[in-house]
Amino acid sequence: MSDEQEADVNEEEETQTEEGLQEGNFISLDYTARTAEDEDLVDTTSEEVAEEEGIEAEDREFGPRTIVLGAGHIFEDVEEDIYGKEAGDEGTVSVEQAFGEYDNEQVRTISADKIGEDDRYPGARVNVDGQQGYVETIIGGRARVDFNHPLAGEDIEYDYEIVEEVEDAEEKAKGLFSMYIDADLDMWIETDEVEEEVEDEDGETETETVEKETLYIEATPQLSMNQQWMFQKQQIAQDVIDRLDLDRVIVQETIDGAGAGMMGMGGMGGMGGADLEEALEDADIDEDELVEELEADDEAEEVEE
């Protein structure tokens, strides 16, 4: 093949690739990932597959996931395989050492006092000085902890199907939030007219009405008490604003009259102790830590571009 013919072929392949899905596209994706060596299930969007593996599906919502290509929501090797394809296409990708190489230096011996008494047994998942690990052995006052990712060094076989390209803005927003927060959130987009003060060419301030594309999110206890949302709400909201070309995100809480006169102990606004305890447990929040964060965090829950 001559250089000219090879150049034509490369140009044709590039043109074909650009016609399909590309970076920045939102897609709905079904997938199942297993370890290549033992075929152990790593993750799946299929409830049927989960049940076959004996995984309880009660507390998890199955179904296609909305992701953004190029945003790091899936393995880079899988993204590269999807580029240029269309809805309905399928693929299988082998991702080498998907969760990094296994590092023997990440297996360390520490004082058992750094581990809670309830977690002092082999296999326990622990957090030591902000680092996640798994207990290998405990002998006397010493513990051997592996701080590698549980799948470090493993190759992953990733089977996927592109269900559809997502065009609806609200579905895109829900997909983005699901990357950060495991909660069923009610959200919608409206075009608001907002009064703003602006400076004219002479430096004088005047008020004008501007339109703002706004994503509204109905607050829930699970959202309010979610640690990632508490610590990263600005970054999460800004990501949604940038990717969906919005002007702002508003998180709002609605309190209706149905609970009037049903104050719980300590004035919990109708949320009884059992309900609050259940919400805290669902969100995996330490009560004392929550109180400290709420006292320290006095920022308004509105993010604007």
Confidence of residue 271 (pLDDT cuts 50, 70, 90): very low
CA 294 and chain centroid, separation: 23
Q: Tens digits of per-residue pLDDT, 35-72?
A: 999 999 999 999 999 988 888 766 677 899 999 999 99
Q: What is the rounded CA–CA span in Å between residue 193 and residue 210?
A: 6
Q: Tens digits of per-residue pLDDT, 194-222?
A: 888 888 777 788 888 989 999 999 988 88
Confidence of residue 164 (pLDDT cuts 50, 70, 90): very high
Confidence of residue 296 (pLDDT cuts 50, 70, 90): low
Q: What is the rounded CA–CA span in Å between residue 88 and residue 134?
A: 40
Cβ count near 137 (within 10 Å): 11
What is residue 7's predicted lDDT score, i.e. its pLDDT?
Answer: 61
Q: How many CA atoms lie within 13 A of 158 on its CB side?
A: 21
Q: Tens digits of per-residue pLDDT, 92-135?
A: 999 999 999 999 999 999 999 999 989 999 999 999 988 999 99
What is residue 202's predicted lDDT score, i.e. its pLDDT?
Answer: 77
Residue ranges and CATH numbers for the domains of the chain are 22-99+153-165 (3.10.50.40), 104-146 (2.40.10), 169-304 (no CATH)
Instruction: Report the pLDDT averaged over residues 141-149.
Output: 94
The answer to whether residues 126 and 146 touch, using CB atoms and an 8 Å cutoff, is no
Token representation of residue 246:
């919005």
